[in-house]
Chains A and B, each alone.
Chain A
Amino acid sequence: EDKVVQSPLSLVVHEGDTVTLNCSYEVTNFRSLLWYKQEKKAPTFLFMLTSSGIEKKSGRLSSILDKKELFSILNITATQTGDSAIYLCAVEADSGAGSYQLTFGKGTKLSVIP
Chain B
Amino acid sequence: SQTIHQWPATLVQPVGSPLSLECTVEGTSNPNLYWYRQAAGRGLQLLFYSVGIGQISSEVPQNLSASRPQDRQFILSSKKLLLSDSGFYLCACGGQTLRVQYFGPGTRLTVT
Contact = CB atoms under 8 A, between A and B. Distances in A.
A67 interface: no
A102 interface: yes
- Mostly, the A contact residues are strand
Contact of A34 (B34, B45, B100, B105): B100
Contacts of B59: 101
B43 A101 contact: no
B49 interface: yes
Interface in B56-112: 57, 59, 90, 94, 96, 99-106
Contacts, number: 54
Interface residues of A, number: 24
A48 B99 contact: yes
A106 B42 CA distance: 6
A106 B43 contact: yes
Contacts of B57: 99
Interface stretch (A14-22, A37-45, A70-78): A37-45
Interface in A41-62: 41-45, 48
A90 B7 CA distance: 25
B53 interface: no
Interface string A79-114: 000000000101010000111111111110000000
A42 B93 CA distance: 12
Contacts of B32: 98-100
B77 to A, nearest CB: 21
